[in-house]
């Protein structure tokens, strides 16, 4: 198993990065928050999880080993695949997700697209005793230069649609948070604010 990769960030997308490792560009699926914390041309080390399917090999990247372990743990629950596991980490920070599961917070869990009440109950039932004590969340890092409004709105809308909301819901959430965010917010900050609105 590939446990981690270190190299130079060759490209950053909303939900992926390309890491140049020894001259080989490896594409890793990541959360928007992780993508927003990386800059093209910078050195990076990401914990990784390799998902092997009959017709594909897919790498997922994480800010640290704890995030990767949680990604792999939630997939032990029936019906949770890598895409849904990554969505969980996009909506909730690892510490918040651990806390929601251990406390049986179904409201927080059902804010994740693709997780209904029954799925949330199954997550709590199967993982409550396995998630451990939630560590303190580190402060969010600066995600680099701010993007123009058209760019950040488009990126956040794309991320929300990718997480399961429809375009109209995504635009409504962006309209609701745009005033408070200022002219040029960080994409990761805007995404978190929009997710809070959609989770109400």
Amino acid 151: pLDDT: 63
Does the predicted TM-score (pTM) go above 0.95?
no
Every domain of the chain with CATH number 2.40.50.140 lies at 4-62
CB 39, CB 19: distance < 8 Å = no
pLDDT tens-place values along the chain, 200 residues long: 788 999 999 999 888 999 999 999 999 999 988 988 888 999 999 999 999 988 889 999 999 999 999 999 999 999 999 999 999 999 888 888 988 898 888 998 998 888 999 999 999 999 988 887 544 444 444 333 333 444 677 777 777 776 777 778 888 888 888 877 777 777 777 877 888 787 75
CATH 2.40.50.140 for domain 4-62? yes
Architecture of domain 65-127: Orthogonal Bundle (1.10)
CATH 1.10.357 for domain 149-198? no
Every domain of the chain with CATH number 1.10.8 lies at 149-198
Amino acid 47: pLDDT: 94
CB 90, CB 32: distance < 8 Å = yes
Amino acid 1: pLDDT: 73
Every domain of the chain with CATH number 1.10.150.20 lies at 65-127
What's the angle, vertex CA 143, arms to CA 138 and CA 149, rounded to 5?
135
């Amino acid at each position: 198993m590939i446990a981690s990769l270190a190299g130079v960030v060759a490209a950053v997308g909303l939900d992926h990065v390309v890491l140049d490792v020894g001259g080989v560009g490896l594409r890793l699926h990541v959360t928007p928050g992780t993508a927003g914390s990386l800059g093209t041309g910078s050195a990076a080390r990401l914990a990784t999880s390799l998902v092997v399917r009959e017709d594909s090999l897919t790498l997922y990247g994480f800010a640290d080993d704890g995030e990767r372990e949680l990604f792999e743990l939630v997939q032990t629950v029936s019906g949770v695949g890598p895409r849904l596991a990554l969505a969980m980490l996009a909506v909730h920070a690892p510490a918040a997700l651990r806390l929601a599961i251990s406390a049986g917070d179904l409201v927080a869990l059902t804010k994740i697209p693709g997780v209904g009440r029954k799925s949330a109950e199954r997550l709590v039932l199967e993982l409550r005793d396995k998630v451990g004590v939630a560590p303190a969340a580190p402060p969010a890092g600066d995600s680099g230069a701010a993007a123009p409004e058209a760019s950040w709105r488009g990126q956040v809308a794309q991320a929300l649609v990718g997480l399961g909301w429809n375009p109209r819901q995504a635009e409504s959430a962006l309209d609701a948070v745009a005033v408070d965010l200022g002219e040029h917010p960080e994409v990761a900050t805007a995404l978190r604010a929009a997710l809070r609105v959609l989770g109400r």
